[in-house]
Amino acid sequence: MMARLPRRGLAQILALVIILAVDRMVSPQFFDLRLQDGRLFGSMIDVLNRGAPVALLSLGMVLVIATRGIDLSVGAVMAIAGAIAASLADSHSLPLVLAAALGTGLVCGLWNGFLVAVLGIQPIIATLILMVAGRGIAQLITEGRIVTFTSPDLGWFGTGAIFGLPAPVVIVAGMLLLTGALVRGTALGLLIEATGGNARASELAGVGTRLMIVAVYAWCGLCAALAGIISAADIMGADANNAGLWLELDAILAVVIGGTSLFGGRFSLLLAVVGALIIQAMNTGILLSGYPPELNLLVKAVVVLAVLLLQSPRLAGWVGLASRLTGAKA
Amino acid sequence: MKGLPPVVITAIVLVAGFAICAMQYPNIASTRVVGNLLTDNAFLGIVATGMTFVIISGGIDLSVGSVIGFTTVFVAIAIERLGVPPWLAFVATLVLCTAFGAAMGGIIHLFDLPPFIVTLAGMFLARGASFLLSTESIPINAPVYSTVSDFALRLPGGGRLTAIAIIMLAVIVAGALLLHLTRFGANVYALGGSRATTALMGIPVGSMTVRIYMLSSALSGLAGIVFSFYTAAGYSLSAVGVELDTIAAVVIGGTLLTGGQGTVVGTFLGILIQGLIQTYITFDGTLSSWWTKIVTGILLFAFIALQQAIIVLARRSAVRKGAKP
């Protein structure tokens, strides 16, 4: 299993390297770094920094998808958490603001988990409810305005720096390590994969599949809330209409590019984050190249299709058949 | 299925909601308001008819909103910048959209990929293509447009049944006939019930999948044309997020998202319920637009919970019947 991991990620890492190389051709200063005001600047840092919200979302999303689920509500949860953080930031202490925003994300995740695991509703539909209603709730909190704040404490989450690295990048790295420790340092990851592989068989084998499902949606909600805090802190305000808009699709895309199947089962946290970086490296590359940003969606569509076709079991079957027919060694 | 079918419940909710609204604002119960409701939601009704077929067959189509956006820009550019006669632009659009749907259906079937992701890619592709065509809003001044928007059947009470509302009603009637009376419709239900069983019964699953997505995309194209009549412009950002409104309407209409159950009439009622909420908020004037989203979310939850309860009850009674003999 461990020996297979590097081979599994080869395609994604290769894709990231190729896209970065293309970016380098488009913009010769792409890898240049400079230190200013105790913070590193450069296109590469920008990719990491801008990719942070989607990377955080994909960390939660990959676990949900591993249980054969999907969470469409993460963008709306981002908007809600951002709205709460921004409206409390100037009147309350930072720990309280964070607790309120993260707590809301957790509650949203538990609600999704309840619908999926207890009521047995299909994940797409169950999370669609919060996706539709959530943005309305966020607008209700901000009363339809863009709420701004001046608290530098909360602002740090978007624009601060640790050891020269932007705070969002450090937060993503921290969450990656924490999530990795939780699911790979314990048996949790295996149980999640078992739930996604075959929920009924796992249930019979004694896995608490319902608890697993509720837990992954809760974690996904928490990650989304954190992403919402970062996006709100980045612009020192909350825009309930646009915060996290369509990011659920990018997060799902990142997970799929990272090689985790939508049909559940085996997953990889690291590759999901690599998937998020691939998406951001494409976005940044198109911006730097001076091509119209409208091309972005087209490139994204082509990349999704290519990745999907590569992963298609049907295609693998045909290739296998072809190699057997030509007499290649199995 | 014992008890009330979901469509009947949707109808009851619509009638009750309409009665409540009419009690508060008697003007809502006029042909004028109803006529406007049909006109404002005409494009939604057309897309939702196609979506009903897709969802009953066990799939989903996220690309519909983008296809509408693409269509409005395509039609506007063809008519205004290239001077193509409008009818030719419409035919070209419909052919293009149908081919697009066929491609998505083909990929879904050939490579055994989840419709969610394939149509997501389709959504990016169609939106990206419309951005490439133009990012500006292009007004359409062709004489056909003013003729069509001026045309309306007078209803008693001063209401107007506009041309685009008539197109929607025609699509819904045709959709209902196609779904409930033809072999194609029966196959759609079969596919949603069980793909494997359907294949074993000798129904060509592949060509059915392709044709269902063709239908959905073609109707999205038609909805785009209707939308361009409605706004008299082509804009690449139009109809963003319409796929969600559509899916919500289909679900509120009593169609099972797991496939195998549902009606076009229910979808139409679902569209009307959403339109009614919007109308109520306009009449009230103090409620903000976000209440539409919240109430739609609550309704979605109520209908899904209801369907889930029906399924659980049906399963239980089936188990009981199986245990007796």
ipTM for the complex? 0.80
User: pLDDT (tens digit, 9 = 90+) per residue, A201-230?
Assistant: 998 998 889 999 999 999 999 999 999 999
Buried b (16+ CB within 10 A) or exposed e, B240-252: eebbbbbbbbbbb
Please give chain B's pLDDT, 325 residues, in tens.
Answer: 445 677 888 888 889 889 988 998 888 888 889 999 999 999 999 999 999 999 999 999 999 999 999 999 999 999 999 999 999 999 999 999 999 999 999 999 998 888 988 998 999 999 999 998 988 899 998 888 888 888 888 888 888 899 999 999 999 999 999 999 999 999 999 999 888 899 999 999 999 999 999 999 999 999 999 999 999 999 988 888 899 889 989 988 888 878 888 999 999 999 999 898 888 888 887 777 788 888 888 888 887 787 777 777 777 777 776 654 4
Most B CBs within 10 Å, among A118, A129, A318, to test the B interface: A129
8 A C-beta contact, residue A175 and residue A113: no
Using CB atoms, which residue from A121, A299, A313 is nearest to B112?
A: A313
CB distance B120–A300 less than 8 Å?
A: no
pLDDT above 80: residue A317: no
pLDDT above 60: residue A330: no
pTM of the model: 0.86
Whether residue B298 is contained in a domain is answered as: yes
Domain span including residue A150: 40-310
Whether residue A6 is contained in a domain is answered as: no
**What angle is formed at CA B286 by the lines to CA B285 and CA B291, rounded to 5 degrees?**
95
Q: CA B224, CA B93: separation in Å to the nearest integer? A: 9
Whether residue B224 is contained in a domain is answered as: yes
Most A CBs within 10 Å, among B301, B303, B311, B312, to test the A interface: B301
Number of domains, chain A? 1
pLDDT at position B195, please? 87
Using CB atoms, which residue from B123, B127, B300 is nearest to A129?
A: B300
Whether residue B1 is contained in a domain is answered as: no
Whether residue A27 is contained in a domain is answered as: no
Contacts 24+ apart (CB under 8 A), A315-319: A315/B111
Q: Please report, for residues A91, A101, A103, A112, B89, the alpha-carbon distance to residue A151 in angstroms, rounded to integers and kept in the order given.
A: 9, 15, 20, 32, 55
Whether residue A323 is contained in a domain is answered as: no
What is the secondary structure of B165-207 as a DSSP string?
A: HHHHHHHHHHHHHHHHHSHHHHHHHHHHH-HHHHHHTT--HHH
Residue B316's CATH number: 1.10.3470
Residues making up chain B, counted from first to last: 325
Whether residue B217 is contained in a domain is answered as: yes
Using CB atoms, which residue from B117, B118, B125 is nearest to A298?
A: B125
Number of domains, chain B? 1
CB distance A139–B288 less than 8 Å?
A: yes
Short-list B213, B260, B280, CA closest to B57: B260
Whether residue A87 is contained in a domain is answered as: yes
Does A108 lie at the interface with B, CB-CB under 8 angstroms? no
Half-sphere exposure of B21 (CA within 13 A, CB side): 23
8 A C-beta contact, residue A100 and residue A273: no
pLDDT above 90: residue A11: no
CB distance A301–B125 less than 8 Å?
A: yes
